[in-house]
Structure 1
């Protein structure tokens, strides 16, 4: 009987905890600016886009996160376009309480990168365009601040890993094919996000 009472009391306590925490759950939409870092800065100038984030309160100071977004990058060439789709989960720690003042966080997941090349004409010869996509692991520490209950600003360093690729080359004279491994370029960036919470 004692075990039954203890079990019921535990379930009731969990229900009250879940109900209390449900008040801390919220979503937000944000405008993002990305500044490419390292070798990635040679291929892209800057990125702009948006993201949606959903936050689930665990305690007054700790929350779990789910984030998805899209970033479009300006490049040196009109024929080349590049975009990223980040899909990440993570956690935040608030110095005082959720949706108030200073917070620190971490996100981890993947970035889908999509590069497209338009048809280009060189010396009267048309080179057919193509597109390529990759999915790479990504990780981001962040720091942010709630200006008020609805508006926040955050800064994160988004580390996007790179994969090496095997590229086949055909010798035009002999017709022989050789394979060379090309080192991937990490598409990491510094991200600034202005968000409205609802």
Structure 2
């Protein structure tokens, strides 16, 4: 897990160091509330998180993206028995812009899951994915997505809304 996070950080820094202003590379950072679905919704009612990422425009209507986010799921102890669950997806993908500001995209990568309770914790990772649609303005972007984790035939998912400032 540390190697994956380190690799992502090095790649983002290298892209940022090589990108000149005006070449189409932008960093973003923002909040990522989520609505748990399926089995995850039985224990949690809401999720909150943060996301950082980079986007590089290869062509007028196509860009590559890479993101890392952290999502903590929240709910009453009556529902989850004090269990704490979080996801750390590290994803990369492509966006297509059918119009100047509207995009449709998909990201895949690794999604790490951590579950803890009363001092005990366990972690696992699996295939992470997030198809999304959004609006890209000059200083911010908003996107809605379907964040998923799939491993050995089992899956966990949440609807996400990301609001990020670009710099």
Given the two structures, how large is their TM-score scaled by the length of structure 2? 0.80
1:188 aligns with 2:157: yes
Larger radius of gyration between Structure 1 and Structure 2: 1
On the 8 A contact 1:21/1:58 being kept in 2, the answer is: no
Give the corresponding residue for 1:52: 52
How many residue pairs get aligned? The number is 147
On the 8 A contact 2:125/2:151 being kept in 1, the answer is: no
1:102-141 residue pairs with structure 2 within 5 A?
102-118=102-118, 129-141=119-131
1:25-104 residue pairs with structure 2 within 5 A?
25-77=25-77, 79-97=82-100, 101-104=101-104
**Cα distance change on mapping 1:163 and 1:43 into 2, 3 Å:** farther
- TM-superposed deviation, 1:96: 3.2
Give the corresponding residue for 2:3: none
**Cα distance change on mapping 1:80 and 1:59 into 2, 3 Å:** same
SS of corresponding position for 1:193: strand
**Cα distance change on mapping 1:150 and 1:21 into 2, 3 Å:** closer
Give the corresponding residue for 1:143: 133
**CA shift digits 1:127-149 (9 cap, x unpaired):** xx411101010222110012x30
**Cα distance change on mapping 1:41 and 1:73 into 2, 3 Å:** same
Q: Distance in 1 between matches of 2:72 and 2:148?
A: 17
Q: Distance in 1 between matches of 2:21 and 2:59?
A: 7
SS of corresponding position for 1:40: helix
- Structure 2 unaligned spans of 5+: 1-17
On the 8 A contact 1:162/1:187 being kept in 2, the answer is: no
Identify the match of residue 152 of structure 2 among 163, 171, 174.
163
Root mean square deviation, CA, Å: 2.1
Given the two structures, how large is their TM-score scaled by the length of structure 1? 0.68
On the 8 A contact 1:48/1:72 being kept in 2, the answer is: yes
- TM-superposed deviation, 1:158: 1.5
SS of corresponding position for 1:59: coil
On the 8 A contact 1:30/1:196 being kept in 2, the answer is: yes
